[in-house]
Amino acid sequence: MRKLPSLSMLRLFEETCRTLSLSKAAEALFITQSAASRQLRQLEMFLGKDLFIRNHSGLTLTQEAILLLPVVRQSLDILEEGVRHVQLRNPLQHLRLQVAPTFATRWLAPRLVTLRARNSQLQVALISEARQKYSDFDCAIRFGNPAQIGENGEWLCHETLVLVGSPLLLIDGQFPPLNSRTPLHVLNGDLRLDNWLRWCEAAGEVVFPEESGLEFSTQDQVINACITGAGYAVLDRSMIRNELRSGLLIQLSPLLLQSANGYWLEIPPGKRGLPRVSHFRDWLIEEMRGFTGEEAIPVSEAGV
């Protein structure tokens, strides 16, 4: 038996935090102000904490309310998402995917039209990885190394790392030396990926000091920063094809380095036999095979 306050109390708490007015919250939830006041008192009694400071100018959140609010909002969001999932007309055709952010933006999203062309009834929903502990999903495309794959995983591809920079960095037709510009780093959680270390060692370049450079939480953020001339970056060539073709980024060395990291497909137990999952898995493997035969992209002769 869960010891939780009622859903109506939690909805009232969230709405009161949003409006900082009990009367406005009551109006939004179609209850009387006296009923709202009673529910709020019951919630505070349940918690043994005051949630609002009442004064002549309105309501102010206490520290306890500030701590509780994000938890309540996330829980209500997840509950709402689950209810919507059940309400779908044809859940058998509703594919819920969790995808690493850069892969989702730069690889998967542009190809979903071909997936839909095969099955126009298939509905695809991309779920934030931040909610992976709470949300039901059919498949996930994870980022990491092969050692992290469990029994439900299937390896897709390694990254191919290249050194790139923006043409905005050119000085008299030449790129400045590596150590004269900021290295841009991709984070994996709280740790830097070893892209720069591996590339410098393979190229025979001096390794940057450990504390140097700028750090970004996703590769997509590094790509955007690199385009603006913020510094040099070592990136997955597959994720910057369009930028290399258009000249927004320039590959500065012919060295192609296979990363220790890459992407794999994870299918939870009990999901593999679902038609929508089998359909997506077969399409993904086929697309991935075609993608690995990439055409040549010119490498800059204006070396660093």
pLDDT at 134: 47
Angstrom distance (rounded) from CA 180 to CA 260: 27
Residues 105-114: b if buried by 16+ CB within 10 A, e if exposed: bbbbeeeeee
Decide whether 7-87 matches 95-155+262-292 in CATH topology. Answer: no
Which fold would CATH assign to domain 159-259?
D-Maltodextrin-Binding Protein; domain 2 (3.40.190)
| Percent of the chain residues past pLDDT 90, beyond the cut | 60
Radius of gyration of the chain (CA): 25
Per the model's pLDDT, the better-predicted residue between 304 and 226 turns out to be 226
Q: Mean pLDDT in the chain?
A: 87
Q: Which of 130, 125, 122 is nearest to 84 (CA)?
A: 125
Domain ranges of the chain: 7-87, 95-155+262-292, 159-259
- Can you read off the two tokens belonging to residue 98? 């969790």
Query: Fold for domain 7-87?
Result: Arc Repressor Mutant, subunit A (1.10.10)
Q: Does residue 140 have a pLDDT over 70? A: yes
- Report whether pLDDT(79) > 90: no
pLDDT band (50, 70, 90) for residue 301 = low
What torsion do the CA atoms of 253, 219, 239, 166 make, to the nearest 10 degrees? -50
What integer is the mean pLDDT of 173-194?
Answer: 90
Beta strand pairing call for 153-165 and 250-251: antiparallel
> Under CATH, which number does the domain 95-155+262-292 receive?
3.40.190.10
pLDDT tens figures, 211-268: 788 999 999 999 999 999 999 999 999 999 999 999 999 999 999 999 999 999 999 8
At a CB cut-off of 8 Å and minimum separation 6, what does 151 contact?
Answer: none
The end-to-end CA distance of the chain, in Å, is 65
Q: What is the model's pLDDT at position 120?
A: 80
Count of positions (residues) in the chain: 304
| Closest by Cα among 187, 298, 170, 172 to 232 | 170
pLDDT attached to residue 14: 93
pLDDT digits (tens, 9 = 90+) for 39-67: 999 999 999 999 999 887 788 999 999 99
Q: Which pLDDT score, from 0 to 100, does residue 292 have? A: 60
276 pLDDT tier (thresholds 50, 70, 90): confident
pLDDT band at 281 (very low <50, low <70, confident <90, very high): very high
Distance between CA atoms of 235 and 241, rounded to whole angstroms?
11
Instruction: Say if CB 36 and CB 12 are below 8 A apart.
Output: yes
Cα separation, 253 vs 164, in Å, equals 8
d(C-alpha 51, C-alpha 44), whole Å? 7
Structure tokens at 44: 């505070």
Q: What burial letters (b/e) apply to 155-193, b meaning 16+ CB within 10 Å?
A: ebbbbbbbbbbbeebeeeeebeebeebebbbbeeeeebb
Would you say residue 202 has pLDDT above 60? yes
Asked whether residue 130 carries a pLDDT value surpassing 90, the answer given is: no
Given a cut of 90, is residue 87 above it in pLDDT? no
